[in-house]
A and B are shown apart, each in its own frame.
Chain A
Amino acid sequence: MADDAVAEQERMRTFQAAALPHLDDVYTLARYLMRNTQDAEDAVQECYLRALRHFDSYRGPAMKPWLLAILRNVCNAEFARRSKEEVPTDYSQDESLAEEMPMWQEPQASPEKMIVRQQDTATIRRLVAELPEPFREAIVLREMNNLSYQEIAQVAGVPVGTVMSRLARARAMLRAAWNAAETVTTRPGSAVASGTTS
Chain B
Amino acid sequence: MRCEESEVMLHALVDGELDAGHARDVEAHVAGCAGCAGKFAAFRTMHDVMSAAPLKEIAPAHLRSRIEALMAVPEGRIVSMRQFLRPTRRSFFGGLAMGSALSGALAASLVFAVMRGDQEQTIAEEVVSAHIRSLQAGHLMDVETSDRHTVKPWFNGRVDVAPPVIDLTAESFTLLGGRLDYVDGEPVAAIVYQRRKHVINLFVAQHLGAKHLRPNAKSIQGYNCRHWAQNGLDLWAVSDIVGDELDEFVQKIAGSLRQPPSTT
Residues of A within 8 A of B (CB): 1-2, 4-5, 8-9, 12-13, 15-16, 19-20, 23-28, 31, 41, 44-45, 48-49, 52-53, 111-112, 114-116, 118-121, 124-125, 128, 142-145, 148-149, 164-165, 167-168, 171, 174-175, 178, 194-198
Contact = CB atoms under 8 A, between A and B. Distances in A.
Interface stretch (B6-14, B100-108, B209-217): B6-14
Contacts, number: 139
Nearest to A31: B57
A178 B224 CA distance: 49
A142 to B, nearest CB: 7
B41 A195 contact: yes
A5 B121 contact: yes
Contacts of A128: 55
Contacts of A165: 8
Contact of A24 (B59, B117, B121): B59
Contacts of B34: 111, 198
B74 A8 contact: yes
A175 B43 contact: yes
B170 interface: no
Nearest to A149: B17
20 contacts: A5-B121, A12-B71, A12-B72, A20-B67, A27-B58, A28-B56, A49-B70, A52-B70, A111-B39, A143-B47, A143-B55, A144-B56, A149-B12, A149-B17, A164-B9, A165-B8, A171-B43, A174-B46, A195-B41, A196-B41
Nearest to B10: A168
A105 to B, nearest CB: 15
B137 interface: no
A27 B66 CA distance: 13
B67 A44 contact: yes
Interface of B: 7-9, 11-12, 15, 17, 34-35, 37-39, 41-43, 45-47, 49-51, 53-60, 63-64, 66-68, 70-72, 74-78, 81, 114, 117, 121, 219, 221-222
Contacts of A41: 60, 63, 66
B56 A5 contact: no
Contacts of A144: 50, 55-57
B45 A194 contact: yes
